[in-house]
Structure formats: C-alpha cells, structure tokens
C-alpha cells in the first residue's frame, strides 16, 4: 500500500471525495478575485455535479473524482488568463487536491479515498 506524504511524482491514479456546504462556501465568495474566484467556481461546479446529502441537518454536496497524477498541473507557472477549462481542472487537481490546498476555501473539503 502506498501512502502519499507529499506531491505524487510517480505514475498513478488517485480518487478524492470533494465535499461542499454551499451555504458556508457562498459566505466568502465576494472576497475571491482572479485565481481564487476561478478555483472557487470550479470546486463548486464539481461538487454540485455530485450527490446532495443531508448530514446533521446540513445540506452537503459530495463528488468523487478520479484522475491520473501525471495529468495534473503543479501550482507554479499557471497563467490563468490563458487556461482552458480542462487545464483549469488539471491545475485544481494538482495544486489543490494533491497539494492539500482545498481547505483554503471555507465550506469545501477533500479527502483522498483511493490510490491505484
């Protein structure tokens, strides 16, 4: 069994469970600009494409995403004015899921659930 302690550099696929409490997430949306707003919107879109569940009286969206770590974009060197939607998703997977930065956005969570 592999245990990831840092950015994955070998060829492997991983799955993450992305969660969102939309009410909490939207509280600070007005504070986000540029890259932060693009990532917020992409995270929200991914989460809302998942399943809506109720947890302790709170509506939560949950979505599992699986991707190959070689198909991600690291956090340095991204020019957000020129990223396509697929490149933005690859950036989100590399810089925010693999590097554990999703918690920067209130209302969102990400838990690694599998390594292939």
Beta bridge partners of 60: 53
pLDDT tens for residues 57-88? 999 999 999 999 988 887 666 677 788 889 89
Q: What does the pLDDT read at residue 3?
A: 46
Residue numbers of the chain with a pLDDT score lower than 50: 1-4, 8
Question: In degrees rounded to 5, what are phi and psi of residue 49?
Answer: -80, -5
Q: What does the pLDDT read at residue 116?
A: 79
What global pTM score does this model have? 0.81
């Amino acid at each position: 069994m592999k245990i990831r302690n840092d950015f994955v550099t070998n060829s492997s696929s991983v799955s993450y469970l992305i969660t969102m409490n939309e009410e909490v997430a939207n509280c600070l949306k007005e504070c986000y600009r540029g890259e932060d707003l693009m990532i917020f919107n992409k995270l929200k879109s991914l989460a809302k494409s998942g399943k809506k569940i109720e947890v302790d009286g709170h509506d939560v969206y949950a979505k599992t995403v699986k991707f190959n770590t070689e198909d991600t974009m690291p956090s340095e060197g991204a020019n957000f004015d020129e990223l396509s939607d697929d490149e933005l998703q690859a950036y989100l997977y590399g810089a925010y899921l693999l590097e554990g930065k999703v918690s920067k956005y209130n209302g969102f969570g990400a838990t690694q659930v599998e390594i292939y």
